[in-house]
Chain A
Amino acid sequence: MSTAMPPLRPANGHAATLPAEKRDDIVVDCHIRELYYGSFKAVRDTEIPIRKNSITAFIGPSGCGKSTVLRCLNRMNDLVRGFRFEGHVRYRGRDIYAHGIDPVAVRRFIGMVFQQPNPFATSIFNNVAFGLRLNGFKGDRADKVEKALRAAALWDEVKDKLNKSGLSLSGGQQQRLCIARAIATEPEVLLMDEPCSALDPIATRRIEELMTELSQKFTIAIVTHNLQQAQRVADYTGFLYVDTTQGGRTGYLVEFNHSKHLFEDPQHPHTQQYIRGEFS
């Protein structure tokens, strides 16, 4: 196998070539040929390599399938009845959609943070310890919980009230609690679907800083509607767009590149229009 990154060739023919990089730092290699919800083709031809300790952002207009692609990476879509997937998603070289792979196991290695903060109606401590219990963690739970809360920049705010309900926190704190809950078990990859869209600018900046910090330890993929956010935090950005020419509304990857390149020198007209805000 070649060590150089092969050109990513989206369906439109514009080759978005990344500079030669080591191929084996790709943690999740997403290769969606076709993805259906029932008989609705939601996404096609989307190849996104997610590199170790980097932040990869997905941007694009609403309904283009960003969340769908993201949920594809840890098999959350399997919970949707009628979901069908063609292609492969390789995690550490192994196809997570291969026969005999347990989606539950996949989700333990590839964690997820959702758009709406969704803590459980239990104490802050138990929220963070949930994953530890699931994984049958035998060691010092309190220590892990503290570490996760520290890593999520929440420890100082909650250390005196770990027994209070997770629901008693503010929206921004709840979202950081969810991040702490997701990272407590130290998954290798963290998927975040618009993690800041329910938050005010200050809480958003905190989470962005947090993501940058976390990327030293974790690999992060994030969906965002906030282009500045993608520019600020993401190392790589993929732009998805909706193809309405074939009758449906099928999303596909238009362009994928280093964020810097994508935002400063977008290759494809759709990307250029989107980044300049020329879309309705």
Chain B
Amino acid sequence: MSSAAPVAEFPTSSPLFDARAGEVTQAPSRGQRIFDAVFRKTCHTFAWLTILLVGFIVARITAAAIPAIHTLGLGFVTGRVWDANAGTYGILAQIWGTIYTSVLALMLGSIFGVAAAIFLSEGFLSAAVFGALKKFNLHLKPVTLRLPDQLERLLKELIELLAAIPSVVYGLWGIFVVIPLIRPWCNWLHAQMGWVPFFSTDLSGPGVLPAVLVLAIMILPTVTAISRDALVSVPPKIRMAAYGLGATRWESLFAVILPAASRGIFGGIVLAFGRALGETMALAMLVGNSNQIKLSLFSPANTLAALLANNFPEAGPKEVGILMYAALVLLAITLVVNVAGAFILHRAALMQSE
């Protein structure tokens, strides 16, 4: 977009406009045009400011990381040991932990999030409430007429409220509720099916699974809100087409409505993935902060964001550089995920319109 879109100068003195003088139709007044121009400039400015800000942050992190990049090189990314005393720094375990927890949380969060979005957008709840009201012949009373929709909206707001809970509260909840709750089950699974790689260790406290569960709940509102918007904006005529052909509710949902909303839903999932990758506090509290690369859901692990959160407080100038390097890697992972997501969305859009 060119930032210097010319403000069209209306030929207000042309015969056309003279001829119409005094009638309702008028060229935009001077005030309107000035307002328009100012508004447009303001929007441009803020858009550029945002972009500049991102660029500035990346530049500062890179600058701070450059010494570490020079001394550690790519070995930093492939090394598995982080031992400040010995002076060895490697973040492969953290990269693994970041991606492993995020992917698992994303799978869980997407399944539940999309299911919740379907429940909240396809009128299952409101139809049930309406049916119940009808039993008591209350369904057409002015007070209860809108109740089904209101309940549905209330539930949606409640789910979106999950996004407003501070991350540290999630962390505490994970420590005091989730871990004690799942621990017996996890240890039972380990005892019974320890040969399955996912259950190969026992859960002694913090670990991958509690982190994944809490993370899944944290990204749920993002997935639900965006998926619901996508489902709601599927044109009614498409739904009608499916019903008109004799599709059941589920058939039209899976064969028509979900595919039509898939791009929006996928966009929500990508956004949630970004959030999961960068989530810090809850993970630092729940993941166990132990640098190992294991498939086991019950073993402790570590993530890049947790590494940063745990090490910054007592970092000397040299460690800050190293942590900045780790931050840069995290940034790169997030960027790759978002670009890949955008690319897939773009391809899907092309394929749909072809």
Give residues in A with beta carbon < 8 Å to B. Answer: 38-39, 74, 76, 79, 81-82, 104-108, 111-114, 116, 118-122, 130-131, 133-135, 164-165, 167-168, 178, 181-182, 185
B157 at the interface (CB under 8 A from A): no
Chain A residues near B243: list those with CB within 8 A. 76, 79, 107
Question: A113 to B123, alpha carbons, bound, how many Å?
Answer: 24
A131 touches B245 (CB 8 A): yes
Would you give 10 A-B contacts (Cβ < 8 Å), ordered by A? Answer: A82-B140, A107-B243, A114-B237, A118-B241, A121-B259, A121-B260, A130-B245, A131-B245, A182-B244, A185-B246
B353 at the interface (CB under 8 A from A): yes
Question: A37 to B237, alpha carbons, bound, how many Å?
Answer: 19
Question: A206 to B123, alpha carbons, bound, how many Å?
Answer: 39
B245 touches A111 (CB 8 A): yes
Q: Which residue of A lies closest to B140 (CB)?
A: A39
A107 touches B244 (CB 8 A): yes
Chain B residues near A114: list those with CB within 8 A. 237, 240-241, 244
B244: contacting residue among A39, A112, A116, CB under 8 A: A112
Chain B residues near A168: list those with CB within 8 A. 353-354
A104 touches B246 (CB 8 A): yes
Question: A112 to B245, alpha carbons, bound, how many Å?
Answer: 7
Chain B residues near A116: list those with CB within 8 A. 237
Cross-chain pair count, CB within 8 angstroms: 84
Question: A76 to B247, alpha carbons, bound, how many Å?
Answer: 12
B255 at the interface (CB under 8 A from A): yes
Shortest B141–chain A CB gap in Å is: 10
Give residues in B with beta carbon < 8 Å to A. Answer: 123, 126-127, 130, 139-140, 145, 148, 235, 237-238, 240-248, 251, 255-256, 259-260, 351-354
| A interface, over-half SS | mixed
Question: A113 to B140, alpha carbons, bound, how many Å?
Answer: 31
B246: contacting residue among A118, A120, A134, CB under 8 A: A134
Chain A residues near B354: list those with CB within 8 A. 164-165, 168
Chain B residues near A105: list those with CB within 8 A. 246
For the complex of A and B, the 5 pairs showing the least CB-CB separation, nearest first, are A108-B246, A112-B244, A107-B246, A118-B237, A118-B241
A81 touches B130 (CB 8 A): yes
A131 touches B246 (CB 8 A): yes
Question: A182 to B259, alpha carbons, bound, how many Å?
Answer: 20
B353 touches A167 (CB 8 A): yes
Q: Which residue of A lies closest to B256 (CB)?
A: A120
Shortest B306–chain A CB gap in Å is: 42
Chain A residues near B145: list those with CB within 8 A. 38
B245 touches A134 (CB 8 A): yes
Assuming the contacts A38-B140, A168-B354, asked whether A120 and B244 have C-beta atoms less than 8 A apart, the reply is: no
Shortest B178–chain A CB gap in Å is: 39
Question: A165 to B260, alpha carbons, bound, how many Å?
Answer: 13
Shortest A6–chain B CB gap in Å is: 31
Chain A residues near B256: list those with CB within 8 A. 120
B241: contacting residue among A81, A82, A178, A185, CB under 8 A: A178
Chain B residues near A164: list those with CB within 8 A. 354
Besides the contacts A120-B256, A131-B245, A185-B246, what 16 more A-B pairs have beta carbons closer than 8 Å?
A: A39-B140, A79-B243, A81-B148, A82-B140, A104-B246, A108-B245, A108-B246, A111-B244, A114-B240, A119-B241, A121-B238, A121-B352, A133-B255, A164-B354, A165-B351, A167-B353
Chain B residues near A74: list those with CB within 8 A. 244
Chain A residues near B259: list those with CB within 8 A. 120-122
Question: A237 to B353, alpha carbons, bound, how many Å?
Answer: 40
Assuming the contacts A76-B240, A120-B256, asked whether A181 and B352 have C-beta atoms less than 8 A apart, the reply is: no
Question: A119 to B130, alpha carbons, bound, how many Å?
Answer: 31
Chain B residues near A79: list those with CB within 8 A. 240, 243
Chain A residues near B237: list those with CB within 8 A. 114, 116, 118
Shortest B344–chain A CB gap in Å is: 16
Shortest B224–chain A CB gap in Å is: 23
Among B245, B352, B353, which residue has the most Cβ atoms of chain A within 10 A?
A: B245
Question: A41 to B166, alpha carbons, bound, how many Å?
Answer: 51
Q: Which residue of A lies closest to B240 (CB)?
A: A114
